[in-house]
Amino acid sequence: MYLTDAPINPTALVQKVLRPSDGAYVLFEGVVRNHHHGKAVESIFYDAYRPMAERELEKIVREIEAKFPETALAVVHRLGHLVVGDSSIAIVAASAHRAEAFDACRMMIDRIKETVPIWKKERGPDGEEWVGWQGRR
Amino acid sequence: MYLTDAPINPTALVQKVLRPSDGAYVLFEGVVRNHHHGKAVESIFYDAYRPMAERELEKIVREIEAKFPETALAVVHRLGHLVVGDSSIAIVAASAHRAEAFDACRMMIDRIKETVPIWKKERGPDGEEWVGWQGRR
Amino acid sequence: MRAMKVRLLFFAVLRDIAGTDERELTLRDGATARDVWNALRTEFARLTDYIDPPMTAVNEEYAEPDQVLREGDELAFIPPVAGG
Amino acid sequence: MRAMKVRLLFFAVLRDIAGTDERELTLRDGATARDVWNALRTEFARLTDYIDPPMTAVNEEYAEPDQVLREGDELAFIPPVAGG
C-alpha cells in the first residue's frame, strides 16, 4: 500500500488526496542524486523489511494526521534499483491553508527517515556501500 | 514567462528545474478551495498587472536564489477564471538536500503573497468580492 | 503652470469602480500619486472613505505616493494583493 | 532446558554478510535478541566489532534487545535506516 516496485506517479498521489476544501498542497519527492558525501553515485538499491515498513509508515501517517487533523496525507516509497533522477519517495500533504500542508509534509519525511526500516546501497565508480552502516559500531 | 492563462502543468515545471545533483524537490500548488472565511466559493477570477507582476516574480526568484544558492526554482501563476480544484500557482524548489528545498519553496509563496500585483475576485452563492479590499481603508 | 500627461491604469476592484482599464491624465507640474488618488475619491463615491491611497506603482515599480510624477509616467494603484 | 524456535530475518548489509534472507534458530529458553546478536558476532568476522546490536524488531515492532524471545517470534536486526 505504501511501498511500490514501480516508478512513482506523483500526479496520481495528489489526485488521491486533494479535496474541494483544500487550498494548497505540498508534494515532496526524494530523488536519487549523483553524489553523496563527496562521492559520485550512479544508482541506489532500496531494500526494506516490507511488512514492518508498511506498519511504520501507517503509524507515521496516523501520528501526523492527529497533529494536523485538517490535513490529508499520502506517501509512497519505491524499492529496488533506482538511477539518478528517479524518485524514491513521494509525500503529499493537502490542507485548507498552506502552513499546515508545509508543516505536515516536512514532519512526515523527517519521521520516515528516523524509523521506517528501509535501507539503501549506493553504487558508484568507487564501489558500493550500505548507507549508514560504516562508522557505526 | 511567470504568468499563464492556461492550466498549470506541475510535472513540466519539475522537469524544468530538476538537475542530477538534486536529491529532493518540493512542489507547492495553491488550489481554488470551496470556502473562504466561512463563505462558500465556486470560482475565482485572477487579475494581474501583468508586466509588473512578471518583474516582481523575477525579483523574488532572484532574492531567494541569493539566499539559497544551491536551490533551483520555478514558479508559474495562472490568471483568469478558475473553478474549485484548479491550481492558481505552482512553485518548485529543487536542491541537493531537502531542508533548503522546503525553506526556499515556503519563502517563495510567502513573498509572492506580499508584493506581487495579482488580485482575486471570489464568486459564490452570496455574490462576488475582491479579496482584501473590504475592511481596508 | 506647465502640464504633463500621465497614464493611469486600473486593476481589480479599481477597474470595476472606474469602469475602465486606463485613462490618460493631464496633471499640473509637481502633481503626486496622492493628488491623483484624491481626485479619484472625489469622482467615485465608493472611494471617498479611502483617505490614504493603496500601494502605488510608477512605471511598474512600487513608489511612494508623495513622489512627484513626471511626463509619460505610468501610474497604477495596487489594491491589497491576493496572489498565490 | 527447554528449547524454542525463532525465525531470524536478514536485511540490507546483514543479508550481504550472512549470505541469506533468513534462518531458523533453535534457542534455549530465556534467550534474548542480544544473545542472538552475540552469536552472529562470533560467526561473522565483519560483525565482531559491533558490540551492541543494532535496533531490534520482534514480530515487526521495535523491541528492546534484552527482551526475552518466545517460541515462534520473528526477529530482525535493523541496521541504521536510510529511507526517503
DSSP state of C68: B
Whether the per-residue pLDDT at B135 is higher than 90: the answer is no
Give the SS3 label for residue B49: coil
- Measured in degrees and rounded to the nearest 5, phi and psi for residue B94 equal -120, 140
Q: Are B64 and B47 in contact (CB under 8 A)?
A: no
Query: Which triple of cell numbers denotes residue D33?
Result: 535478541
Residue A93 identity: A
Pick D82's closest partner by Cβ from A51, A52, A131: A131
Integer CA distances (angstroms), C34 to C30, C50, C64, in order: 11, 12, 9
* pLDDT in the model for residue A136: 60
A48 at D interface, C-beta within 8 A = yes
The rounded Cα C55 to chain-centroid distance in angstroms is 9
Pick D57's closest partner by Cβ from A117, A130, A131: A117
| Chains sharing 3 or more CB pairs under 8 A with chain C | B
Look at A115 and D79 and tell me if their CB atoms are within 8 Å: no
Which is it for the CA torsion C66, C67, C69, C73, positive or negative? negative
Among all residues of chain B, which has the CA nearest to that of A106? B102
Average pLDDT, integer, range B63-81? 98
**Strand residue runs (E) in chain A:** 3-4, 24-31, 35-36, 39-40, 43-48, 72-78, 80-83, 87-95, 118-124, 127-130
* pLDDT in the model for residue A135: 64
- Per-residue pLDDT band for B92 (boundaries 50, 70, 90) equals very high
Whether the per-residue pLDDT at A137 is higher than 70: the answer is no
- The DSSP line for D31-60 is -BHHHHHHHHHHH-GGGTT--S--EEEETT
pLDDT tens, position by position, C31-83: 999 999 999 999 999 999 999 999 999 999 999 999 999 999 999 999 999 99
- Per-residue pLDDT band for B137 (boundaries 50, 70, 90) equals low
* pLDDT in the model for residue B1: 81
B15 at C interface, C-beta within 8 A = no
A51 at D interface, C-beta within 8 A = yes
Look at D51 and A137 and tell me if their CB atoms are within 8 Å: yes
Please, what's the largest Cα pairwise distance for chain C?
A: 45
Query: Which triple of cell numbers denotes residue A63?
Result: 501520528
- Per-residue pLDDT band for A1 (boundaries 50, 70, 90) equals confident
| Lowest-confidence region among C1-5, C45-49, D37-41 | C1-5
Q: What does the alpha-carbon distance between residue C48 and residue C58 come to, in Å, rounded to a whole number?
A: 22
* pLDDT in the model for residue B63: 98
Look at A22 and B30 and tell me if their CB atoms are within 8 Å: no
Verify C-D touch: 3 or more CB pairs within 8 A: no
* pLDDT in the model for residue C2: 81
Q: What does the alpha-carbon distance between residue A52 and residue A56 come to, in Å, rounded to a whole number?
A: 6
Q: What does the alpha-carbon distance between residue B57 and residue B50 come to, in Å, rounded to a whole number?
A: 10
Pick A98's closest partner by Cβ from B20, B28, B34: B28
Which residues does A41 contact at the CB level (< 8 Å), separation at least 6? A32, A33, A34, A35, A84, A122, A123, A124
Q: Taking the model in full, what pTM does it have?
A: 0.95
Look at B133 and C15 and tell me if their CB atoms are within 8 Å: no
Query: Which triple of cell numbers denotes residue A28?
Result: 515532496
Q: Are D60 and A52 in contact (CB under 8 A)?
A: yes
pLDDT tens, position by position, A12-32: 999 999 999 999 999 999 999
What is the interface pTM, i.e. ipTM, of the complex? Answer: 0.94
Residues of C with CB below 8 A from B117's CB?
11, 57, 76, 78, 81, 83
pLDDT tens, position by position, A97-130: 999 999 999 999 999 999 999 999 999 998 999 9
Q: What does the alpha-carbon distance between residue C39 and residue C47 come to, in Å, rounded to a whole number?
A: 10
Q: What does the alpha-carbon distance between residue A122 and residue B118 come to, in Å, rounded to a whole number?
A: 46
Q: How far is A27 from chain B (nearest CA, A)?
A: 5
- Per-residue pLDDT band for C1 (boundaries 50, 70, 90) equals low
Query: Beta strands B80-83 and B72-78: pairing type?
Result: unpaired
C45 at B interface, C-beta within 8 A = no
Q: What does the alpha-carbon distance between residue B40 and residue D15 come to, in Å, rounded to a whole number?
A: 57
Look at D79 and A132 and tell me if their CB atoms are within 8 Å: yes
Pick A24's closest partner by Cβ from B10, B14, B28: B28
Integer CA distances (angstroms), D40 to B8, D36, D67, D71, in order: 56, 6, 17, 20
